[in-house]
């Protein structure tokens, strides 16, 4: 019986590359001179911390980071920006977390979407942080993939493990 898995993963190597490129760019850009701006990937590798002198510079930092993510083909849906906090020395900081894996609420939402498509013989079930979709016809599975790509679920989705 044909099946595939719906997962939400982030390529950490590409994230590291994007953060490195962004930090190199802000070190060389004129508009960031003497602002003590920094972008760094935290030890846990699920958080990116941005620091600078003002909120408008922080917005510019975020824009540079997002441009690097897009160039590296990492979905911006994987980023969850925290609130802007005041830091020491009159600076501001913001912590951005990376979302990987499908939460149980999102898995329920995906299962509900699949059931509402009304395709015969299509079944979906949650397995940890992924959703397995199986069906009798390969074309129906491809229809499910197309509909899930069009649905706006606020998380990056990948479709893996397609089997006949």
Query: What pLDDT, in 10s, does the model give residues 97-140?
Result: 888 888 888 888 888 988 888 888 888 888 888 889 998 888 88
Q: What is the CATH number of the domain that holds 120?
A: 3.30.70.860
Cα 43–154–7 angle (5° rounding)? 70
Q: Reading across the β-sheet that carries 158-163, which strands appear in turn? A: 123-127, 130-134, 3-7, 158-163
Show which of 48, 66, 98 is a domain's final residue.
Answer: 98
How distant is the alpha carbon of residue 94 from its chain centre?
17
Task: Give the model's pLDDT for residue 67.
Answer: 94
Do residues 135 and 79 share a domain? Answer: no
Do residues 20 and 73 share a domain? Answer: yes
Q: Kindly tell me if the per-residue pLDDT of 32 is higher than 80.
A: yes
Domain extent at residue 128: 3-8+101-163
Do residues 90 and 110 share a domain? Answer: no
Find, among 117, 128, 129, the residue nearest to 155 by Cα.
129
**What is the DSSP-derived secondary structure letter of residue 155?**
S
Do residues 57 and 130 share a domain? Answer: no
Q: Kindly tell me if the per-residue pLDDT of 71 is higher than 90.
A: yes
Q: Which residue do the tokens 């019986």 mark?
A: 1
- Lowest mean pLDDT across 17-21, 32-36, 123-127: 32-36
Do residues 153 and 107 share a domain? Answer: yes
Do residues 80 and 124 share a domain? Answer: no
Do residues 110 and 88 share a domain? Answer: no
Q: Which residue do the tokens 């990116």 mark?
A: 48
Do residues 90 and 139 share a domain? Answer: no
Do residues 107 and 145 share a domain? Answer: yes
Do residues 52 and 114 share a domain? Answer: no
Q: At what angle do helices 12-28 and 55-71 cross, to 10 degrees?
A: 130
Burial 65-88 (b: 16+ CB within 10 A, else e): bbebbeebebbeebbeeeeeeeee
Alpha-carbon span 57 to 59, nearest angstrom? 5
Q: Kindly tell me if the per-residue pLDDT of 68 is higher than 80.
A: yes
Show which of 98, 113, 148 is a domain's final residue.
Answer: 98
Do residues 47 and 78 share a domain? Answer: yes
Number of domains in the chain: 2
């Amino acid at each position: 019986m044909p099946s595939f898995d719906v997962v939400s993963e982030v390529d950490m190597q590409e994230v590291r590359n994007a953060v490195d490129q962004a930090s190199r760019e802000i070190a060389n850009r004129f508009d960031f001179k003497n602002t003590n701006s920094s972008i760094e990937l935290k030890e846990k590798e699920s958080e990116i911390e941005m620091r600078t002198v003002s909120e408008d510079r922080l917005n510019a930092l975020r824009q540079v980071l997002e441009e690097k993510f897009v160039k590296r083909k990492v979905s911006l849906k994987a980023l969850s920006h925290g609130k802007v906090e005041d830091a020491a020395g009159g600076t501001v900081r913001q912590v951005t977390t990376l979302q990987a894996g499908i939460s149980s609420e999102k898995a329920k939402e995906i299962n509900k979407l699949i059931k509402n498509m009304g395709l015969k013989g299509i079944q979906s079930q949650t397995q940890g942080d992924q959703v397995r979709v199986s069906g009798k016809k390969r074309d129906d599975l491809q229809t499910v993939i197309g509909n899930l790509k069009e649905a706006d679920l606020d998380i990056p989705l990948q479709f893996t493990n397609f089997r006949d």
